[in-house]
Every structure is written in C-alpha cells, then in structure tokens.
A = this chain, B = another copy of it.
Amino acid sequence: MMTDLKAMGERAAAVKLTLQELTTEEKNRALMTAAGFLVDRQEEILRANETDMDTAEQNGMSPGMLDRLKLDGPRIEAMAEGLRQIAALPDCVGECMEEWERPNGLKIRKVRVPLGVIGIIYEARPNVTADAFGLCFKTGNAVILKGGSDALHSNAAIVKVLREALQQSGIPEDVVQLIEDTNRAVTSAFMKLNEWIDVLIPRGSAGLIRHVMENSTIPVIETGTGNCHVYVDRDADLDMAVQIVYNAKTQRIGVCNACESLVVHSAVKEAFLPALKEALAEKQVELRGDERVRQTLKDCTPATPEDYGKEYLDYILSIRTVDSLDEAIAHINRYNTKHSDCIVTENREAAEKFLNLVDASCVYWNASTRFTDGFEFGFGAEIGISTQKLHARGPMGLRELTSYKYKIFGNGQVRG
C-alpha cells in the first residue's frame, strides 16, 4: 500500500498554528528533552542501525558509505549535542525586520515567520534526521523527512524517539514525520505535494540534487555541489598561497567547500607551482595541468576541459594558467558552481575586482574556501549550503529557514 502523502501533508498543516504559538522557551525545552531521549534510548536506535548495516554490507556497500551510515554511542551523543546547541541559539521567528509608516497613516511591519512545512530529501546519513528536525522545529516549521532507503530502520527509530519526546513535551508529534515507504513513486509524488509543502531541500550527492531540481514542482533550495577555485594572482604572497591551497584541497576532501581547481597567473607559476607540488606531495595529491603548467611541472597529468568542470571530492587538483585577472575571472565564472572561490593577492584593487565579479555565494580574499560553513560563519547551525540565488545563498542557518509577512496596521484606510 502506498503511503498516504496527502494525509501526511494534512497532519503537517494541522500543527502549523500550534508551532507558531509555541514560545521560545517551550521550543528550547522540547529540544533538550529530545536530546535526552536520543541518549537514553540509544540502544533501540543502535539496534535499528545494525539492521541497516547488515543489509548494506550484504548489498556490498562501499566502506565510505558504510561509515556514513554507521551509528555508535559517540555519534548519537553528537546528534543530541546538536539539538542542545540549536536550543541555545537565539530564536529569530517573530523578529521585526523593518517597519515604516506611509503618508496615509498605514503602519507596515515586516516580520520574520516560519516557512511552514519543509520537505527534506536526503541520503544515507542518519544524523541528518535529528539535525533537520532540530533546525526546522526551532524555526517553527513542520518537517516531512524522506531519507535514503539504506538508512530506513535507523531513521525510523530516531523519528520514533523524537516523536515520543515531543509528546512528553506536550507538543503534537506530527511536527516531524518520516516517509517510510521506499517506493520511488512515493518520492516522485512527494516532490509534487505543492498544496502541503512550502519548500523542499535536497541534501546529498549532486545526482540527488539534480533529480530533485528537475522533478519537483515545489520550490527547491539547491544545495551542495562545489567546484571551488583558488586563484593565485601575480601579486600573491606565495607562501600564503601554498598554505591556502594546501588547506582548501586536503584538510577534508569529500566536502563541497574543498578546492578542486587552481588558477595561477603565468608571472608566478615558475615560483609557485614547484613549492605547491612539494606541499601537496605529502598528501599524494594528483595534479592535472594545462600545457604551460606541464612546462613547469614535467610529470603533471594533462588536464582535459572536463577536469575544469569537475568536483573531484578526491586528492586531485586541476590547474589552469592565465595571463591576467580578467582571464582568471572568466575561467572561474565559466567552470565554478557558484559556491566558493578565492583570490590570493596582496593587491587590493585586484582583490576587489575579483570579489565583485566572480559569481559565487562566497568570494574570499586570502583565506581558505573551507570556511564556507554555517558554523564557521557564526550561524551556530547549518541546514546546507545554497548554490542558487533565490531566497538563500551560501551557508544556511536558522534565518534561512524562515520567510516573512507584512503586518499592516490601519484605522479604516481605503484606496482612492
């Protein structure tokens, strides 16, 4: 029998008003209770996770994927700690964003409100389940989750515990619901549930995100893919450039804010590339360069045009030589994913031009692209990193899970 999505949508809609009327204290207490429940009931969650792990191993899941799927005591404690941190953050719902008065006496107040009902489609990480619930709940949103089928038992156990915690807090448990049906038709129908869901956020691989973008009729926030560049300018501090590229490339490779491509000014390539190569050799990073790069680094792999568009998520770095800042900007705007790009230079004018003209959510002057992150930005939380321009761009924290409404105060005004 197919999941009754319409009924789930109706249940989510039915709790919207209650959610909006909860005080900050009530929400925070419920988040702390939920954190406690996760820790106290971890055996039940770990048992469910073992079922998922067994099936995944039998199905030959890769070690990397198995690691993402696996839960243990410390990971459950981390999930609980995530909820406690969200409880500690300020509540942005209800804040007055702007207020003005019109000549006719109408007072207009722009007020932050929840988005309403958020749908999250994600893959094998069960920690997303608690995390997404916490962020949506704190911002007064109901959430309907559709996790990967590999993590079904884990997700179901986590949601069961969260719902029981809500019930104990006197809050309707339907503020978080999980679609447990793994039928693909259900996911397709979920993406067309416009009547009930205000926003859909996919979290996961580039393929998942593209699939949701192409098939959802609900407004989507595109997250994720990062083909991030570091441009080493002719006026760069080359020691700093080595450190920044080394950090952005190797500090963590499987993440969207890692550097995938280096653009280097021809005037410094001879001085810079050998030093960089030596640093990256420590992590056995494979370099793929254009012809001029290979004149400097004899044993470098040739780069194809496909290399420049690729998010490797691996110990590989493409390198392109340019003769000017303009050429660097044009190259980056052609190949980037509008995520994060950096210029290393001591020249303020060059930096300003780069920051103005490179089309990305985050543009860096002399710092690693790895800082594109809700926590590093000081948001205290992160639901994802938006690579689109509508609504939210870059790291999305609590505020990015809200909308606004205008409250208009009159005393009988009519339009003439």
Contact = CB atoms under 8 A, between A and B. Distances in A.
Interface of A: 16-17, 20-21, 100, 102, 106, 108, 115-116, 194, 198-199, 213-214, 217, 219-222, 237, 240, 243-244, 246-248, 251, 329, 333, 355-357, 359-368, 370-371, 376-378, 388-391, 393-394, 403-415
7 residue pairs, one from A and one from B, having the closest CB atoms: A367-B410, A247-B414, A389-B403, A370-B415, A391-B391, A367-B413, A240-B412
Given A194-B213, A359-B16, A377-B108, A367 B408 contact: yes
A247 to B, nearest CB: 4
A357 B20 contact: yes
A26 to B, nearest CB: 15
B362 A116 contact: no
A367 B406 contact: no
A394 B389 contact: no
A347 to B, nearest CB: 14
B394 A106 contact: no
30 contacts: A17-B329, A102-B376, A106-B367, A108-B378, A115-B389, A194-B213, A198-B389, A219-B220, A219-B389, A219-B390, A240-B412, A243-B412, A243-B414, A247-B414, A248-B414, A362-B405, A362-B406, A363-B405, A365-B409, A366-B410, A366-B411, A366-B413, A367-B413, A368-B410, A368-B414, A370-B415, A371-B408, A371-B415, A393-B405, A393-B406
A388 B403 CA distance: 9
Given A237-B412, A247-B414, A368-B415, A406 B363 contact: yes
Given A20-B356, A247-B414, A415-B371, A199 B390 contact: yes
Most chain B Cβ neighbours within 10 Å, of A222, A248, A364, A412? A412
